[in-house]
Amino acid sequence: MDPWIIHKNNLGVWAEQRSILDNFVRTCSITYNSAYGVPVLWFNLYDSDGQRITLGSETDNTTLQKLSVYKNLISENEHPCLGMAFYNLHPCHTEELIKLLSNEKNYVIKWYSVVHPYVLLPSPPLNFYKEA
Amino acid sequence: MDDYEIRRNIWEGKIPVEFDFDTREFTSIRSPQSYFAMLPRISYFPLCLSKALKFLSLSVDEDIDVKDVWLEYNGQILKWHYPIGLLYDMHVADVTLPWVINVRSQNHPDELVHPSKDTMRHIFLQAIKEADQLKHRGQVISSMTKDEHNRLFDSVVNNKFDDFWSVNKRLMHDETNKISYIPIRFYEPGSPFKQVLISPSNEDDSPCTLENAIRKALPTIDLSSYTVISQGINVPLNTPVIWMARNLSYPDNFIHILLRKS
């Protein structure tokens, strides 16, 4: 189980996790979006040469093919603390989905249970919401 | 409050650019080539490169697409999901025109977003949605059709002021719903932007000025040693941010403020 590490810089706080799966390196990041008041999940996949993988392009890889099913919920943007391109799950959709699962306790767990199937993440960063 | 002249001038602002293709990057050209263009400040580089690349394609005798290249100025990667005018204000400290930009084809930086029209559309619309979330809790944007959302982007692509404002005027309409927060982003060169919740009024009910907003976002800043620029002009620090939101925003509905050490 790869650990989530909390980072801070002058732009904000984020939780980061790096894992090796199949033949990819996956970097995940959770930031807090103050406009929507929700956490946002960011991720990138890197191949064995350390190159960032473009999602949505033709591929023989079954993991990437599975991920492309969710392409309408995923898009690319700039990570607000790192200033680099990452894929994210749209924060506006997160809010709608959270309302459907409404229960004030364990907000982050509920949110996490919604997002994790899309990127096959192992375990939630429980400390993150306290820091944010 | 609404100034048509200013909105029109902002829309029509252009920057003269020289795209340089050199022989180290494009090995099949015999000598360095240049392509000159006047680009709209309010547009985005990936949407404006087709003519320059078509010109290059003729010299190299193969099709060069926007995804084959990236842009560099003064050794720095140009983040092409930012509006052209913002990038110019950010990177070009003195006024030497045309803006000479190197078109690179090798060592593509991983940290850049992909320049496809779809990605540009997504990023643009994400900003518009977030701006409306700040202003109106998302009520205006969610009352619009997907077609209207696309018209906002397409009118930037096609440079159509009237088409844009026919939809955008609803995002700028604040009468019955009081505006909650001002969509504004602060940039210092070399850093991602800073964004915090900024109310249109201060605690004492006075209008929040640009200076009030900067100090909320960057509490330790010594403003006397900075130049504050937006849309290519030094904006007076006592300008109310609500006026800026209505007249000085980029098409993505955000005010983008550049803070540069003078």
pLDDT value of residue A94: 59
- Closest chain B residue to A82, measured at CA: B192
What's this model's pTM, rounded to 2 decimal places?
A: 0.89
Q: How confident is the model at residue A124 (pLDDT cuts 50, 70, 90)?
A: very low
∠ CA(B10), CA(B11), CA(B14), 5° rounding? 80
Domains B4-104 and B117-172 share a fold: no
B114 touches A: beta carbon within 8 Å:
yes
Best residue in A25, A79, A84 for a mutation probing chain B (most B CBs within 10 Å) = A84
Minimal Cα–Cα distance from A50 to chain B, Å?
Answer: 10
Minimal Cα–Cα distance from A1 to chain B, Å?
Answer: 27
CA distance B101 to B103: 6
B216 touches A: beta carbon within 8 Å:
no
B195 touches A: beta carbon within 8 Å:
yes
Of B16-20, B73-77, B89-93, B148-152, the poorest mean pLDDT is in: B89-93
Closest CA to B253 of B154, B80, B133, B166: B133
CATH architecture of the domain with range A5-131: 2-Layer Sandwich (3.30)
**CA distances to A23, B188, B212, B229 from B236, in Å:** 54, 18, 12, 9
Q: What is the rounded average pLDDT for all residues in chain B? A: 93
- Closest chain B residue to A10, measured at CA: B194
Fold of B184-261: Ubiquitin-like (UB roll) (3.10.20)
Minimal Cα–Cα distance from A113 to chain B, Å?
Answer: 24
CA distance B7 to B53: 31
B111 → closest Cβ in A54, A85, A92: A85
Question: What would the mean pLDDT of A46-50 be, rounded to a whole number?
Answer: 90
pLDDT value of residue B230: 97
CATH architecture of the domain with range B4-104: Roll (3.10)
**CA distances to B27, B48, B53 from B61, in Å:** 12, 21, 11
- Closest chain B residue to A84, measured at CA: B111
A82 touches B: beta carbon within 8 Å:
yes
CATH architecture of the domain with range B117-172: Orthogonal Bundle (1.10)
Helix (H, G, I), strand (E, B) or coil at A6: strand
pLDDT at B78 over 90: yes
Q: Where in chain B are the domains? A: 4-104, 117-172, 184-261
A54 → closest Cβ in B114, B181, B193: B114
